[in-house]
A and B are shown apart, each in its own frame.
Chain A
Amino acid sequence: MVRLIPFEFRKHFMKISIIAAVLLFSALNVVKIYSVHEGNSLLSKHVTGPLWKGLYWKMYKDFGGTITDEKIGKLMAIYRPLEQQTADLTASTTHDNPNTYTGNVYEDFHFFRWCFVNPMKYAYDYKAYAQRVVNAAKDNIAFYDAMDNPYEARKNAAVAELFQGRAITSFSYTEMYQYYVQYDFSALLALLICLYGLMSVFLSEKETEMDALLLTTKAGGAQTVQAKLIASSLFICSVCFWFWLLDFAAFSVLFGSWDGASSPLYVLEDFIHASLNVSLGQYAVVSALVKTAGILVFGLAFLLLSSLFRNALIPFIVGLSASFGCIYMAEVYMGSGRVLLKLVNPFVLVVNRELFRKAEFVALWGYPLPSYVVALLLSAVWGAVFIGGLTIAVRKNTLRKGGGKRVFVDV
């Protein structure tokens, strides 16, 4: 069977059309990431003008790295006067003020506020905030124990443990990660390529009527199906990893920084309650793996669909509709507190910031399970259902019995 896998892979996926689609979609992906940068980054000339980028990196030399009282004092010595000058909105609006960094006092104020003061303040305050969360959770443990609510007590114990010792000690440029974790377009591209690529896995043999002939060969039954499944999984993983790598590389290059990879995930303000104590670099890897798992589930669904029909028309349309249906439901429940409804949708693995941005739990026999574990388990169930359906649906070289007219020899 091991020799069958590369054969199946070559047969179904080493096609010019797929390679061309991957290359063209990759180009499109980079263009999209460029547009994300141009439309959102505080250092993009479209958002804030041409001066901020140069000034930022100049100032970053002074303020980047470990947060110290000296750096904070130096920053506030610049920021406080700006705050006072702009507070009553009566300062000059001219753009040629020689005593400013950008030529305008308001722009100076915005620059320091958004680029340095706000993120540094968040980082500095985080340790105290995390400690407050731990204290509140510990208080809750005692409270819920008194209320005879062991599930909530355990949940709060998990929260206390998660937040214990959290602190952000250094200031780094994390804007790249801020938008990288929100980026979904590459997932749509990977999903479309998988939908296309996987259509032919079972259908190509049906179209040429080789499926009946294959059943007569030694490795033509279950072994071929297994080889197809493994080859398909390899294909999905290759496409996904290619796109996730491309995302990471394009974001890093376009945002112009590799900094921040060692900062903790909760350095992103949207991830203030992150459910994992990992660094941004580690999160990029975890997120890529979980996204791939999500696309794998969709891939299995596409394979099952294609095995049910004789040509690609209906399976493709149904697969596309189902994908959009799942995306729609994921959007409906994005940020929802109804955790289980959110997790039952396998697309949540693809948009996995929903799983990691907040510590959420699902009760299982009175014990709190982190939402990402439940999402992975539920997706594994979906995957098993699809594989089960596939094994039932594929043609077998056995005599099917079940009454007069239904008996036929499937060779």
Chain B
Amino acid sequence: MSLWMYEMKKMFLLQKGLLFVGLFLVLTLASLAILDKPANPDIERNASTYLFYLNQVQGPYSEKTERFFAAEAAKISNAKVALQKASDDYYDGKMGEKEFLAVSAPLESILEKEKGFKVIYDQFTYIRENPANRYFLYTNGWEGLLANDDLDFFWLLLLLLLVAPVFGFEFESKMDALLLTVKKGTGPHTVCKIVLVLLTVAVLCLLTAGLRYGFYRFKYGLENGNYPLQSLSYFGTSTKDLTLLEAYLWITAGKLFGSLCFAVLILFVSICLKKYAVTLFLCSAALLLPYYGLRLESSKYFFPGPLGFMVSTGFLRGNESKRNPFKDQMDVVFREVSLTAWSVVFAVTLCLSIGMLIVIGIRRTNVWSARKPVQVRRASRLMLILCLAVSVLSGCTSSGSTGTSDIYNCSSRQSFENERYRFYVDDTDLENIRIVFEDKNSGEKRNFIRNPMPSLTRVENTIYGNGSRVYYMKYDFDKSGFMEKVARFSVIEVDTTTFQEKIVFEKKLSTDKSSVLGLVKVSDHDASFYMAIRSFFRDEHSLYFIGQNEIRRVNRRTGDMRVILRLPAFTNVAFDGRTIYYANEKSQVVKYDTKTGSETVIPDLITRNFVLTDTELLFMNRKDRQKMYALRLSDSSIRKIADQPARG
């Protein structure tokens, strides 16, 4: 068997390299499949309308685009006004049904695209800042692929597992000295090992890069690779003149170079120190400590070593700064790496790697050391390696489910009544607006929130009730710096028989990286949604949050969030435990089945103001001068309740 084959067999079979590679690939794919979330989820949620607009403006910015956006914005706002007017005319009897349908249909189709237009308009405002190198394109694919500087922890572990035993295995079994005495045991053997390691690392690195590329191409699509890099906001201020595809290739090349350097570092340390533990310790510390320890994100790119190259997206980022709250100035949070700085870092890293390879070659010769290495020499060697490493561093279940559910009306989200108590928001004292409950028998009024420690917590004045269980939502804050920051959103269930509280849903909202190592990342899009929740209700498995003009369903267990309904402004929403009722743009009341996802328009019911009860839907009839009517839910019969038009 040739030396190559034997070394490969040793590396992949005897040292279980193949198993680790397989495990790494499975974990990488699984983490991509499970953890990957679109960079801008609003694009995916409004894919069809967003793409409708994108197809018209894709590419560079021009005056035509500017005119297009101005015209489209005017078109949408005019359509809103026109539809409202047409509805008013129709319900007031000034317009026939046929004419109304003819007028409203095209207006509705315009308004359906409103949310998608808002998403692309945000992109437009970004591009308008610097139209020369910012193009319109579908960004989620490229953002997912390029816009992060996360260190691949699994990749780091795989490299340690594969490379450390290459020489370490022989030192451990004391075969190293024996090998030096055989014909091919010195130079050729060492070269074979090094080349095999470098080849393996290169192939795996390219394979991983290819896998990621394939994943994002398959999931989102990676079109328009010839557009400038600055089209992605992550690289918005970069001065590098690259296309997206070129950037990907450079980043991959950087990762390849960094990984090869890291492999050489592992080989070097394992040859010098001959022990697994110290090799693994030094090499992992050389990457992890500067990665987590440096204050400025960009610092790691200015120091020679494998780390900067292994997360090489930062080499392509531009200067970024944030406003200093105390002085009228901007503080740098990311400093762009110039081409000169990059060249110096690259050259020094390359020289260090070549130097380490030379030392490996020298140490694997069979020139017998004439004298026993004295302690001082060993210490100085260790210090040298530690200093080298440090130079790189110093660079450095629904228990309450009863099957039936109380009716929820968004319009009465600040009150709820069960058999024993009445819960409502007491705003008689404007400086102390709070949720209270009143005992129906005694009339005694008490605070509903019993937490005796209210500081650093904000309870929202909205409740949802179902039988004896009443729910409220709160935000927790932390004040670790001098500013108070929101940390967490929670929905709390109160069992009103004993007033025992239980958390039914929690979401971390803190987006800063200061907590321990900053391993858990929170999407800004998600955080801003949770901060804008108006009201909520729940069923057995999910929570439904009413945000700005939409309802989102969040799975309580997985946290998976989906937009299920778009709502016009100032509409009511009601929920009976399974069906959501809401009024659409045309003031028709629509029933949405939460189990099947189907929508049904209730015929002959035109209103914006309605209240759902157990048996009826009470509404102000738009077709009869806002007089109060009731729709019986069992047989859909409608009856007039009051002959006087309702006010307010």
Contacts and interface: CB of A to CB of B under 8 A. Distances in A.
Given A152-B500, A156-B452, A331 B516 contact: yes
Interface string B374-386: 0100110011001
Interface in B457-504: 476, 478-482, 487-488, 490, 492, 497-500, 503
Contact of B482 (A27, A42, A140, A151): A42
Contact of A24 (B164, B390, B518): B390
Contact of A192 (B284, B500, B518): B284
A312 interface: yes
A309 to B, nearest CB: 10
Contacts of B450: 136, 140, 143-144, 152
A397 interface: no
Contact of A313 (B280, B284, B386, B481): B280
Given A114-B482, A184-B516, A189-B289, A28 B281 contact: no
A19 B506 CA distance: 44
Given A114-B326, A152-B499, A359-B453, A312 B280 contact: yes
Given A143-B450, A196-B278, A324-B153, A338 B506 contact: yes
Given A28-B289, A137-B452, A185-B292, A336 B506 contact: yes
A33 to B, nearest CB: 11
Interface stretch (B269-277, B589-597, B609-617): B269-277
Given A35-B295, A143-B446, A332 B453 contact: no
A188 interface: yes
Contacts of B161: 313, 317
B327 interface: yes
Interface residues of A, number: 81
B478 A335 contact: yes
Contacts of A358: 453
Contacts of A369: none
Contacts of A28: 289, 293, 390, 393-394, 396
Interface in A305-328: 311-313, 316-317, 320-321, 324, 327-328
B456 interface: yes
Given A16-B378, A149-B499, A159-B452, A335 B488 contact: yes
Interface string B286-308: 00110011110000000000000
A84 interface: no
Nearest to A24: B390
A42 to B, nearest CB: 7
Chain A CB within 10 Å — which of B275, B292, B375, B379 has the most? B275
Interface in A163-184: 178, 182, 184
B517 interface: yes
Contacts of A118: 482
A224 B376 CA distance: 31
A276 B374 CA distance: 54
B326 A107 contact: yes
Contact of A337 (B288, B386, B506): B506
B326 A110 contact: yes
Given A156-B452, A328-B519, A331-B520, A149 B157 contact: no
Contacts of A324: 153, 519
A214 to B, nearest CB: 19
Contacts of A148: 498
Nearest to B453: A273
Interface in A222-254: none
A159 B515 contact: no
Interface string A319-361: 0110010011011101111100000000000010000001100
Nearest to A359: B453
B504 to A, nearest CB: 11
B487 A335 contact: yes
Given A31-B394, A39-B295, A147-B498, A316 B281 contact: yes
A199 B278 CA distance: 9
A49 B390 CA distance: 31
A36 B273 CA distance: 34
B390 A316 contact: no
Name, among B273, B478, B480, the residue most crowded by chain A CB atoms within 10 Å (CB to CB).
Answer: B480
Contacts of A27: 390, 394
A100 interface: no
A149 to B, nearest CB: 4
Interface string A270-284: 101100000000000
22 contacts: A17-B382, A24-B386, A24-B390, A25-B285, A31-B396, A40-B481, A107-B327, A111-B326, A114-B482, A140-B452, A144-B498, A149-B500, A156-B452, A192-B281, A203-B277, A207-B172, A270-B479, A311-B276, A313-B161, A316-B160, A317-B161, A336-B508
Interface of A: 16-17, 20-21, 24-25, 27-28, 31-32, 35-36, 38-40, 42, 46-49, 93, 106-107, 110-111, 114, 118, 129, 133-134, 136-137, 140, 143-144, 147-149, 151-152, 156, 159-160, 178, 182, 184-185, 188-189, 192, 195-196, 199-200, 203, 207, 269-270, 272-273, 311-313, 316-317, 320-321, 324, 327-328, 330-332, 334-338, 351, 358-359
Given A28-B393, A48-B327, A143-B450, 6 more contacts: A28-B390, A149-B498, A188-B292, A192-B289, A316-B277, A335-B476
User: Lowest 3 A-B CB distances belong to which pairs?
Assistant: A196-B281, A136-B452, A312-B276
